[in-house]
């Protein structure tokens, strides 16, 4: 391991689930390959924290493949031999689908490949990887249905679904102080103080922990408000008061969430990562503290996106922002086309799902961008998140193309064209014109330096010949 300041430090053993330590594996690999490939710590020289680990491999860390297989087999034997099958076809179909999903999750949790995160347990992140596969399969199934059948299929999950959403009045009176209301002139402000205020704050706090960059978070936050302005003619719930957009959302909820997230990132980057087995800690207070820290990262990697360092990284960061905003928009458009009320538990479950898979996906994307020699392919969770985002968008396109193709207002179109032209112009200047200009100046300086050397060399030869003639 190497510390963030570049100094090489001692790293303890990080043990895998089969009891074999990673450093031992890497040492064997480096000996067999003749040190052809660099150690991961050398790649992470400026971004990875220092880690000490005593290498304790307890019962908690083992995979328990045989135990899970035995319990699963006993459950299936019980259902087959001891339980009477009901005569309700719909109930049996639901139960069979749920059982099939559970069997797949059991297989994935015990056998799937580990991701970049290991806390609180690698099985936790394998579980969410398998859930993402199940969710993607569900989206593909919905995509292949007709609009009517797809909406009615949601009744199979919850009988309350499959019904058109009632129309609601959004926007309305935007006066912060309403003199017409004598009893409560600030009623417009108090009406906005609902459950979505802490939800916005918590959401952006978690997004900051996922992205780990203040500038990217602020750009995404501001860009989404512009998208709400641009698309309020398509979705009525995007219609908000100006102070709700820029004061309540950007400055208060999003801004404070990003600030708290950055402070948490600062603490995580400075925190010492020293791990000791639970039974090796003598005091009960130390044991409780160790249990609590099990839910913090094993080590810490500071994300250095550096979008202006190369054209490849610039395009990658723009792609990340685009996919992030598309996933945000999918939240609102999916509710609209599948007739799901905002307070439905499926909407909340989708947000919880993205919270868990988003962090892993972003880390895998960063690793893929940071070193293509070490990470030769995009990570599995990042691949699944990209596929899910695209599938959700395709469902929106298929289920309600009319709403999606409603033309933008002329002034909105002008603003977006201006923004796109400015971004393209900056890209051309930064990565083409500026580089060509710098290269031309460098070549010109080299030529001038070479000419000066040749001139001085010729002057030296002339002076030496004059000296010879004087001597003769």
Count of domains observed in the chain: 1
* Pairing, β 51-53 against β 273-275: parallel
In a domain, 197, yes or no: yes
Q: Please choose, from the candidates 350, 208, 319, 220, the residue with its C-alpha nearest in 3D space to the C-alpha of residue 267.
A: 208
The residues, any chain, with a CB within 8 Å of residue 177's CB and separated by 6 or more, are 185, 186
**pLDDT value for 372:** 67
* Residue 373: inside a domain: yes
Is the omega angle on the peptide bond into residue 328 within 30 degrees of 0, that is, cis? no
Tell me the whole-structure pTM to 2 decimals.
0.81
Determine, yes or no, domain membership for 256.
Answer: yes
Say if 394 falls within a structural domain: yes
| Residue 450 in domain | no
Alpha-carbon torsion angle 178, 184, 189, 192, nearest 10: -130
**160 Cβ neighbours under 8 A, 6+ residues apart:** 344
What ranges in 308-373 are assigned the alpha helix state H?
A: 311-337, 345-370
* pLDDT tens digit sequence for 147-179: 999 999 999 899 899 888 876 656 666 777 777
Domain-embedded: residue 52 = no
Question: What was the pLDDT predicted at 169?
Answer: 58
Range of the domain at 132: 105-427
pLDDT tens digits along 171-225: 666 777 777 777 776 767 777 777 778 888 999 999 999 999 999 999 999 999 9
Quick check: is 113 in a domain?
yes
CA distance 458 to 446: 18
d(CA 226, CA 220) in angstroms, rounded, equals 10
Q: In the prediction, which pLDDT does 442 show?
A: 79
Domain contains 165: yes
Q: What is the pLDDT of residue 471?
A: 61
pLDDT tens sequence across 64-89? 889 999 999 999 999 999 888 888 88
Question: What's the confidence (pLDDT) of residue 12?
Answer: 40
What secondary structure letter does DSSP report for 174? Answer: -
| Sign (positive or negative) of CA dihedral 81, 83, 89, 95 | negative
Quickly list H helices, 160-303. Answer: 187-192, 196-211, 214-231, 242-243, 255-270, 284-293
In order along its 472 residues, the chain shows pLDDT tens digits of: 333 333 333 334 343 333 334 433 333 333 333 344 344 444 444 567 777 777 776 777 777 889 999 999 999 999 999 888 888 888 899 899 999 999 999 999 999 999 899 888 899 999 999 999 999 999 999 999 999 999 999 998 998 998 888 766 566 667 777 777 777 767 677 777 777 788 889 999 999 999 999 999 999 999 999 999 899 889 888 888 888 888 888 888 999 999 999 999 999 888 888 888 877 888 888 888 888 888 888 888 889 899 988 899 999 999 999 999 999 999 999 999 999 998 899 999 999 999 999 999 999 999 998 876 776 788 999 999 999 999 999 999 999 999 989 998 899 999 999 999 999 999 999 888 887 887 778 787 777 777 777 777 777 666 666 666 666 5
CA 432 to chain centre: 30
């Amino acid at each position: 391991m190497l510390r963030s300041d570049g100094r090489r430090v001692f790293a303890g053993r990080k043990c895998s689930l089969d009891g074999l330590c990673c450093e031992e594996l890497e040492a064997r690999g480096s000996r067999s390959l003749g040190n052809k490939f660099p150690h991961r710590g050398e790649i992470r020289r400026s971004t990875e924290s220092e880690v000490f680990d005593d290498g304790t491999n307890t019962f908690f860390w083992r995979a328990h493949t045989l135990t899970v297989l035995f319990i699963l087999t006993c459950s299936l034997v019980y259902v087959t031999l001891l339980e009477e099958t009901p005569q309700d076809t719909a109930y049996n179909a639901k139960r069979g689908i749920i059982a099939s999903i559970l069997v797949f999750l059991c297989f994935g949790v015990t056998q799937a490949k580990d991701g970049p995160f290991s806390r609180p347990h690698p099985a936790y992140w394998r579980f969410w990887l398998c859930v993402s596969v199940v969710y993607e399969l569900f989206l593909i199934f919905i995509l292949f249905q007709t609009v009517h059948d797809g909406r009615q299929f949601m009744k199979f999950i919850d009988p309350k679904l499959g019904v058109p959403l009632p129309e609601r009045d959004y926007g309305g009176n935007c006066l912060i102080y309403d003199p017409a209301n004598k009893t409560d002139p600030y009623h417009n402000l108090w009406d906005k103080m609902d459950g979505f205020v802490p939800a916005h704050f918590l959401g952006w706090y978690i997004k900051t922990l996922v992205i780990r960059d203040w500038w990217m978070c602020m750009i995404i936050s501001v860009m989404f408000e512009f998208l709400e302005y641009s698309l309020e003619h398509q979705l009525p719930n995007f219609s908000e008061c100006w102070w709700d957009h820029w004061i309540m959302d950007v400055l208060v909820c999003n801004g404070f969430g990003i600030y708290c997230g950055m402070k948490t990132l600062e603490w995580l980057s400075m925190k010492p990562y020293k791990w000791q087995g639970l039974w090796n800690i003598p005091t009960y207070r130390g044991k409780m503290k160790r249990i609590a820290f099990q839910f913090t990262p094993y080590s810490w990697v500071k994300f250095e996106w550096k979008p202006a360092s190369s054209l490849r990284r610039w395009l990658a960061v723009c792609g990340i922002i685009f996919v992030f905003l598309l996933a945000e928009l999918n939240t609102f458009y999916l509710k609209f086309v599948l007739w799901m009320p905002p307070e439905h538990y499926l909407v909340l479950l989708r947000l919880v799902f993205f919270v868990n898979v988003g962090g892993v996906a972003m880390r895998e994307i960063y690793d893929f961008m940071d070193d293509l020699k070490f990470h030769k392919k995009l990570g599995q969770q990042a691949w699944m998140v990209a596929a899910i985002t695209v599938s959700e968008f395709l469902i929106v396109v298929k289920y309600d193309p009319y709403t999606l193709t409603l033309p933008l207002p002329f002034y909105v179109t002008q603003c977006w064209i201006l923004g796109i032209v400015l971004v393209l112009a900056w890209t051309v200047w930064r990565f083409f014109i500026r580089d060509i200009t710098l290269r031309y100046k460098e070549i010109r300086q080299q030529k001038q330096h070479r000419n000066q050397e040749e001139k001085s060399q010729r002057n030296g030869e002339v002076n030496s010949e004059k000296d010879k003639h004087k001597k003769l």
